[in-house]
Amino acid sequence: SAHVVFVVLSVCQVEEGAESVLCPRLNGHGAVTRYYSSDSKDDLHVRYLDGEDSGIVVVGINRPKAKNAINKNLVKMMFEAVEDIKKNKKVRSVILCSLVPGIFCAGADLKERAKMHQSEVGPFVSKARALITELGNLPVPTIAAIDGAALGGGLEMALACDIRISSNTAKMGLVETKLAIIPGAGGTQRLPRVIGVSLAKELIFAARVVDGTQAQQMGLVSHSVEQNNSGDAAYLRALELAREINPQGPIAIRMAKLAINQGIEMDLSTGLAIEEACYSQVIPTKDRLEGLSAFKEKRQPQYKGE
């Protein structure tokens, strides 16, 4: 599938119809370009990084006027992005982030929701739930870079990722009970699995919002980093992590993810059988032989995913 490469210019270019523009610090490969635009096809930016970062895909949500809220169009675009990533064997890791400063995703688009007929709400929530399930089922490591508020469905999206990294100032919470509803896209299931049952109940019952530092203390995020002037500290830390994952054996990583995800839901003996089945998949690979050769020859292995 075609690799999309965005050239980041050091001049801030204002797109036609853009209301304002923010030029983030440019950091070579993987810099995030941010611009505001009201065009719905700009709601999501998918970038396949190149050069040394080849294999890293950055999925950036870009609905500044709506605080990146999840509407029908964003769900559709994210489904397409997830499908493309799933089919592409060259992808090594995915970073889910926001291109809008100060916000990750404010949850469901309540303005759109208010206009929906009651009969439309169920199907829309089902579609959003299916999207988040698909995101969780991606075969490669997924990292949510939370540089701003991640509320309701926004946090549910991050919970479906393998690893969450936030800035210390980011705000997170499943706040649905404030609206007399419950988390409907996996929050009641994924949050207790991540932070434990009692704490998850407390956060959901109280609709409590925590910051990045508190989130790290409770294990909701793996790393909480100090926010920088350009507001993309969590993204930069996620990029570092993706770069750490990149050189490892890609089939091995896919199998490790599968073994962990399936095994964690089982008793130990079933989990060990799943691990054995996943291990048997890596034995016949060319990558495994390349790893042994590289070790013997004291050089860096060059894995091809074969």
Q: Which of 149, 156, 184, 234 is catalytic?
A: 156
Q: Which residues of 238-254 are buried (b: 16+ CB within 10 A; e: fewer)?
A: bbebbbebbebbbbbbb
- pLDDT per residue as tens digits for the range 187-212: 999 999 999 999 999 999 999 999 99
Query: Which residue has tokens 């949510």?
Result: 144
Residue 187 lies in a domain: yes
More confidently predicted of 125 and 190: 190
Judge contact between 96 and 161, C-beta under 8 A.
yes
2 pLDDT more than 60: no
Q: Where does residue 67 fall: left (phi above 0), alpha (psi -120 to 50 degrees), or beta otherwise? A: left
Active site residue 176: yes
246 falls in which pLDDT band (50, 70, 90)? Answer: very high
Residue 154 lies in a domain: yes
Active site residue 156: yes
**Residue-number span of the structural domain to which 140 is assigned:** 32-246
Residue 17 lies in a domain: no
Residue 125 lies in a domain: yes
- pLDDT per residue as tens digits for the range 142-156: 999 999 999 999 999
Q: How many domains, in total, are found in the chain?
A: 2
Looking at the structure, tell me whether residues 154 and 279 fall in a common domain: no
Q: Which of 66, 106, 108, 149 is catalytic?
A: 108
Active site residue 108: yes
**What pLDDT does 42 receive?**
87
Q: Which of 30, 55, 148, 153 is catalytic?
A: 153
Sign of the torsion angle spanned by Cα atoms 214, 215, 217, 218: positive
Residue 18 lies in a domain: no
**What pLDDT does 35 receive?**
45
More confidently predicted of 19 and 55: 55
Q: For residue 149, what is the enclosing H or E element?
A: strand 149-151
Looking at the structure, tell me whether residues 61 and 193 fall in a common domain: yes
Nearest Cα residue to 102 out of 42, 49, 46, 61: 61
134 pLDDT more than 50: yes
- pLDDT per residue as tens digits for the range 165-179: 999 999 999 999 999
249 pLDDT more than 90: yes
C-alpha–C-alpha distance, residues 289 and 114, integer Å:
57
Looking at the structure, tell me whether residues 216 and 84 fall in a common domain: yes
- The SS3 of residue 117 is coil
96 pLDDT more than 80: yes
Looking at the structure, tell me whether residues 123 and 260 fall in a common domain: no
Q: Which of 149, 170, 176, 212 is catalytic?
A: 176
Looking at the structure, tell me whether residues 41 and 122 fall in a common domain: yes
More confidently predicted of 155 and 21: 155
Query: Which residue has tokens 């970038």?
Result: 47
46 pLDDT more than 60: yes
**What pLDDT does 39 receive?**
63
Looking at the structure, tell me whether residues 161 and 275 fall in a common domain: no
Rounded percentage of the chain residues whose pLDDT exceeds 90: 80
